[in-house]
Amino acid sequence: MSVTDVMTRISQIQSTIAQIQSGEFSTPSSTSSTDSASTFASALASANATTGTTGATGAAAATSAASTTGLDSTAGTKATPASPTGGLVDNGVTGDDIVADAKKYLGVPYVFGGTTTSGMDCSGLVQTVFKDLGITMPRVVPDQAEMGVKIPDLAHAKAGDLISTKDGGHIVIYLGDGKILHAPRPGKDVRIIDNYLKDSDIGEIRRIVPSTASASVSAASTAKATGSQSDLVTAALQQLMASGASA
């Protein structure tokens, strides 16, 4: 029996029970009522079994999607907030958080070696943003370009990823949609511009934290909530069934 058939059958039985309770429906015998109750219970069991299987499959699919090509997977990583190398830092921070924090520094003037709102350079900006979010990053571009997970090319870049130039002299924060945020050079301030770096210009693209809130966790939570709601509905329908059978 398909989910659609089960739900259709449940709807029919609910309607019949409502009629029984209101006295608008009379059953030929107690056997008929018992048979309906039995059928209803079987339908509920089928629905529960189907929903459980579907929920588990959906969660597994979401987990797989979340870990596409391993770029957003924190499984088995040795990276920590204090040492964000060798994998992704799984402390609840996402690429979207990186972007939001970086935008706080728009307009800060470029100062070589700076790491404060009085002035900062490109790597100082990166270090400060991650420090705000509890992650300790190295101070200079070549070291920052070795943190986290390597992203193969711009096509796979996500908001919050770091992009360094091939010569190791500059690093920017990718915002998604072809935009970057960076501290460009003396005489300029922290700003958002269209990404001018091509794959041929790039030394490294690095992801330090998952690009979005863990999709696998979100999917599991959704599946759990859906399952709980289904259990409540099932319990309520069973009570209605019992009430209808005794009418």
Check which CATH number belongs to the domain holding 150 and give it.
Answer: 3.90.1720.10
Are both 163 and 207 inside the same structural domain? Answer: yes
Integer Cα distance of 230 and 63 in angstroms = 22
Q: Report residue 213's pLDDT band, with 50, 70 and 90 as the boundaries.
A: confident
Are both 81 and 116 inside the same structural domain? Answer: yes
Are both 236 and 181 inside the same structural domain? Answer: no
Are both 123 and 200 inside the same structural domain? Answer: yes
Which pLDDT belongs to residue 149? 95
Q: Which one has a higher pLDDT value, 201 or 216?
A: 201
Which pLDDT belongs to residue 145? 98
Are both 80 and 149 inside the same structural domain? Answer: yes
Are both 108 and 166 inside the same structural domain? Answer: yes
- In which element (H, E) is residue 17 found? helix 3-22
Which pLDDT belongs to residue 32? 52
Are both 84 and 150 inside the same structural domain? Answer: yes
Are both 205 and 106 inside the same structural domain? Answer: yes
Say whether 187 sits in a helix, a strand or coil.
coil
Residues 112-123 pLDDT 10s:
999 999 999 999
Which pLDDT belongs to residue 75? 77
Q: What domain range is 39 assigned to? A: 3-68+216-246
Are both 61 and 119 inside the same structural domain? Answer: no
For the annotated catalytic residues, the residue numbers are 122, 170, 182
Domain count, the chain: 2
Residues 15-71 pLDDT 10s:
767 666 666 655 455 455 555 556 555 555 555 555 555 555 554 444 444 444 478
- Long-range contacts of the stretch 65-68 (C-beta < 8 A, 24+): 65/215, 66/214, 66/215, 66/216, 66/219, 67/216
Q: Which one has a higher pLDDT value, 35 or 219?
A: 35
Give me the numbers of helices (H) and strands (E) for the chain, helices first please.
6, 8
Are both 41 and 131 inside the same structural domain? Answer: no
Are both 63 and 104 inside the same structural domain? Answer: no
Residue whose pair of structure tokens reads 């728009």 in the numeric block: 106
With 0-12 / 13-18 / 19 or more C-beta atoms within 10 angstroms meaning exposed / middle / buried, residue 129 is buried
Residue 77 pLDDT more than 70?
Answer: yes
Residues 130-140 pLDDT 10s:
999 999 999 99
Alpha-carbon distance values, 54 to 42, 47, 198, 237 (Å): 18, 10, 43, 21
The total number of residues shown for the chain amounts to 247
Are both 189 and 98 inside the same structural domain? Answer: yes
